[in-house]
A and B are shown apart, each in its own frame.
Chain A
Amino acid sequence: MAEAVAPPGRRVLAWAQEYGVYAAVGVLLLFNVLFTPHFLDVANFRTQLVQVAPIVIVSLGMALVIGTQGIDLSVGSVMSLAAALVALYLGYGAWPALLVALVGGAVAGTAGGALVAYVGVQPIVATLALLVGVRGLANVLVPQLVEFRNPDLIALGSSSLSGVPVIVVIAAVLTLLMAFLVRRTTFGRQVVAIGGNRAASELSGLPVRRVLLLVYVISGVLAALAGVLATARLQASDPTSLGLFIELSAITAVVVGGTPLSGGRIRVLSTVMGALLMQLLSATLIKHNLPQSWTQIVQAVIILAAVYATRERGTR
């Protein structure tokens, strides 16, 4: 019960809900600057950002889906499908291959979205089916790791724009686009309204089903793009293991960023912060030679804290 908390406590909680992730990222940065050798090296920063970029891109779509009270478990498999398609169509050049991969993502998204919006399947079930099926398809298309030498694709994964890796630039631009989409467009506001109260949105004449479908398509396309970028960076297409468990990282980023799983609110920049926080955290613990299991435990604590902080906002 929100109001049962004494006013000062309530204010702290409200503040934590809004800016907790930013503060946590700040604290972690500060800690590293003070205690981690070579942390301020440009190379280190680049590595961190390049690693987190695909997660950020996938999280953007996930945030949108979660904003409608849904969830998209298929993102990792869609990444692997994209990797497979890129490998298959690279013969036509990097850009056509990229396009085919994105179309593949859109098709997967359409399948999930149609199940959710038109057939009425629960999002978790619909996308779980896709999680299994799409990776299977990717594995059939490209059964084992394929290396490639296409210079355009390799450039996409490793070149920089005035010092900033292209992947990072793309993630940043997409973040801004998504923030704009959510805040400033009719579509974005409709997404949030549908997540907030679907029955009311229907009675208000919003094209609920079309919006839902589009949300999953966007998530699919973003996942496919992340898959292509990851593949470009690897310089190899690896449908068997690419994107495994990334749905969990993406959901974590969204939740830690303060978007409630109960829908009706989408926080784009905070989602990115959530992804950065988890990345920084594991990097920090690794640099200080703590075992992986520690990272997992700390991540669990952060997720719980985030869920606790968003709890009342979500359930009312």
Chain B
Amino acid sequence: MSQSVAPVLEARQISKRFPGVVALDGVSIALLPGEVHALVGENGAGKSTLIKVFTGVHRPDGGELIYNGSPVAFGTPLDAQRAGISTIYQEVNLVPMMSVARNLMLGREPRGRLGVIDTARMYGEAERILAGYGVVTDVRRPLRTLGMGVQQMVALARAVAIDARVVIMDEPTSSLEPREVETLFSVIRKLRDDGIAVVYVSHRLDELYEVCDRVTVLRDGRVAHTGPLAELERLKLIALMLGRDLDEVRTGGLTRFSRDRRHARERDGAAPAVRAEGLTRRQVLRGVDVAVWPGEVVGLGGLLGAGRSETAKGIVGALPLDAGRVLVGGLPLRTGSTTAAIRAGVSLLPEDRKAEGIIPALSVRENIALAALPSLSRAGVVSDAKIDKVVEVFMRRLRIKAASPHQPVQELSGGNQQKVLLARWLAIRPKILLLDEPTRGIDVGAKAEVQALVDELAEEGLGVLLISSDLEELVEGADRILVLREGAVVGELSGDDVTEDKIMASIAERGAESDG
């Protein structure tokens, strides 16, 4: 990384203000060809905003962009893409109703005579490209029928296939599982060797150290540090991100799951808080049995497409089932009704925060209060006082960064949106909480807080079902782990057996055939 190499893309003193916040305040950063540049910072530090300035989504209020040695101003993302800056956004940005192949080839479909799209060739090519990423799937299916992880791989394949000089990835691994992360990394290394500048945004520090050469730390819209990553100690990096003293971080300012909680819980005689029996859905679930006792954290392990999210959705009635039933406190739940599930105290934090989570145009306040509305109103009339109180508590407890509770939630950074959703669920005080990727996209500080919160709630008697593609999180958080494969439970681990290796082994057991 000698400084004699001219940067491909450079930001000089970029500023960007939104009503009520300064998202970027004189940020300068230079991207060199053939480097993987990590961009890190707390939720709301300005990472996505900086990326959107690079790609012409936002126009900066001040400063300039230099691309290939000359100043540029991209009017639209398409301009940036044409110029060779390719981006995978934090929220998957594809067309859910169109087929996988269409999404992949959008705008550059192979054409036959008369300029008609040659569908046969398009499908063939799409299959071939995706196979290169370890994704084997029917490319004719609408994209939305696939899991988030596969969708993200499609987005990746699409971004890389475009001839690019700069490839920007905003939290690309947030819904990938380990094997796919490996694929992603090999793609990144290849890009780097081809002399492409890669910008990599992630809250997962392991990943950063694995693939990144240099790092830029943003804090409150300013550059807090730039330099080679390998020389930077991990705790020092965290300290820089959080803006705390190194010592403070070292002495456990970052609590995570407390492990001593893992003992066989008293459950003789006690009924499980929730028990699902024989959940079945054609091609997705084949008779899954899950039980969660009060005060217990049960992890669901498995690869993408193993049926983890579907199990959770089946339990709350958000996925139509062909067979199976759910018992809460021993009583059967009306099937297919999320309303009934929530009334019984079972709630799900969904995986896809953009499509199934936030109500974008509503305020932070209303998004938090949404599920709890009936209990926050009197005779059908909402009580401002009650809502304000709940919202205040959770905004403080989860440290939600917003200009005000009245800010539309779509204007929040990704991680803060996730916290808003968590708050929505905590506000109804559930008995059982199903968490599908709860710490996805939230920063190290907040992640620890969320994990501590899960711990604390479990202590208070809440039953938790935890789905996470982060194995470490699963191992640290769960008392017991059920491993799913192809829609069926293939293993159960508890006590000292709860380790990453044992989970991996259990997933791989019984034939090494992979599922997509």
Task: Report if A204-B381 is in contact (Cβ < 8 Å); known contacts: A264-B359, A264-B362.
Answer: no
Task: Report if A203-B339 is in contact (Cβ < 8 Å); known contacts: A185-B380, A190-B373, A313-B361.
Answer: no
B366 and A193 contact, CB distance less than 8 A: yes
Q: What is the interface residue range for chain B against chain A?
A: 35 or more
User: How distant is the Cα of A187 from the Cα of B379 in the complex, in angstroms?
Assistant: 11
Contact with B along A166-204 (1 / 0, CB 8 A): 000000000000000000111101101100110111111
Residues of A contacting B381 in the complex (Cβ-Cβ under 8 angstroms): 184-186
Residues of B contacting A207 in the complex (Cβ-Cβ under 8 angstroms): 339
Task: Report if A3-B362 is in contact (Cβ < 8 Å); known contacts: A184-B381, A186-B373, A186-B381.
Answer: no
A186 and B339 contact, CB distance less than 8 A: no
Q: Known contacts A204-B342, A205-B341, A264-B360; can you find 5 more A-B pairs with CB under 8 A?
A: A185-B377, A193-B366, A197-B358, A200-B355, A316-B361
> Is B76 engaged at the interface, CB distance under 8 Å to the other chain?
yes
Q: Is the contact region of chain A dominated by helix, strand, or loop, or is it mixed?
A: helix
B361 and A205 contact, CB distance less than 8 A: no
Q: Which chain A residue lies CB-closest to B355?
A: A199
Between A and B, 12 residue pairs with Cβ closer than 8 Å are A4-B75, A4-B76, A185-B377, A185-B380, A186-B380, A197-B359, A200-B350, A204-B424, A206-B371, A207-B339, A264-B359, A316-B361
User: How distant is the Cα of A197 from the Cα of B380 in the complex, in angstroms?
Assistant: 21
A205 and B359 contact, CB distance less than 8 A: no
> Is A7 engaged at the interface, CB distance under 8 Å to the other chain?
yes
The contact of B57 among A3, A186, A205, by CB within 8 Å, is A3
Task: Report if A203-B356 is in contact (Cβ < 8 Å); known contacts: A3-B59, A7-B61, A264-B362.
Answer: yes
The contact of B362 among A193, A202, A205, by CB within 8 Å, is A193
Q: Which chain A residue lies CB-closest to B353?
A: A200
User: How distant is the Cα of A3 from the Cα of B53 in the complex, in angstroms?
Assistant: 10
Find residues 312-333 in chain B having any chain A CB closer than 8 Å to their own CB. 316, 318
A316 and B366 contact, CB distance less than 8 A: no
Residues of B contacting A193 in the complex (Cβ-Cβ under 8 angstroms): 359, 362, 366, 370
Task: Report if A197-B360 is in contact (Cβ < 8 Å); known contacts: A185-B380, A189-B366, A203-B338.
Answer: yes
User: How distant is the Cα of A264 from the Cα of B75 in the complex, in angstroms?
Assistant: 29
> Is B28 engaged at the interface, CB distance under 8 Å to the other chain?
no
A186 and B382 contact, CB distance less than 8 A: yes
> Is B280 engaged at the interface, CB distance under 8 Å to the other chain?
no
User: How distant is the Cα of A164 from the Cα of B380 in the complex, in angstroms?
Assistant: 32
> Is A1 engaged at the interface, CB distance under 8 Å to the other chain?
yes
Residues of B contacting A192 in the complex (Cβ-Cβ under 8 angstroms): 359, 362
> Is A161 engaged at the interface, CB distance under 8 Å to the other chain?
no
> Is A233 engaged at the interface, CB distance under 8 Å to the other chain?
no
User: How distant is the Cα of A270 from the Cα of B382 in the complex, in angstroms?
Assistant: 22
> Is A42 engaged at the interface, CB distance under 8 Å to the other chain?
no
In the assembled complex, the CB of A68 is this many whole angstroms from the nearest CB of chain B, namely: 12
> Is A265 engaged at the interface, CB distance under 8 Å to the other chain?
yes
* Residue from A1, A186, A192, A203 whose CB has the most chain B CB atoms within 10 Å: A203
B362 and A196 contact, CB distance less than 8 A: yes
Q: Which chain B residue lies CB-closest to A196?
A: B359
A6 and B59 contact, CB distance less than 8 A: yes
Residues of B contacting A206 in the complex (Cβ-Cβ under 8 angstroms): 339, 370-371
Find residues 349-369 in chain B having any chain A CB closer than 8 Å to their own CB. 350, 355-362, 366, 369
User: How distant is the Cα of A82 from the Cα of B102 in the complex, in angstroms?
Assistant: 50
Q: Which chain A residue lies CB-closest to B428?
A: A205
> Is B407 engaged at the interface, CB distance under 8 Å to the other chain?
no
A202 and B58 contact, CB distance less than 8 A: no
A316 and B410 contact, CB distance less than 8 A: yes
A185 and B371 contact, CB distance less than 8 A: no
The contact of B316 among A6, A199, A200, A203, by CB within 8 Å, is A203
Residues of A contacting B356 in the complex (Cβ-Cβ under 8 angstroms): 197, 199-200, 203
User: How distant is the Cα of A22 from the Cα of B371 in the complex, in angstroms?
Assistant: 34
User: How distant is the Cα of A68 from the Cα of B380 in the complex, in angstroms?
Assistant: 19
Q: Which chain A residue lies CB-closest to B377?
A: A186
User: How distant is the Cα of A109 from the Cα of B407 in the complex, in angstroms?
Assistant: 35
In the assembled complex, the CB of A266 is this many whole angstroms from the nearest CB of chain B, namely: 11
In the assembled complex, the CB of A309 is this many whole angstroms from the nearest CB of chain B, namely: 15
Q: Which 5 A-B pairs have the closest CB atoms?
A: A205-B342, A196-B359, A204-B371, A3-B58, A264-B361
In the assembled complex, the CB of A48 is this many whole angstroms from the nearest CB of chain B, namely: 34
Task: Report if A202-B318 is in contact (Cβ < 8 Å); known contacts: A186-B373, A207-B339.
Answer: yes
Contact with A along B406-424 (1 / 0, CB 8 A): 0000100000000000001
Residues of B contacting A187 in the complex (Cβ-Cβ under 8 angstroms): 380
In the assembled complex, the CB of A264 is this many whole angstroms from the nearest CB of chain B, namely: 5
> Is B190 engaged at the interface, CB distance under 8 Å to the other chain?
no
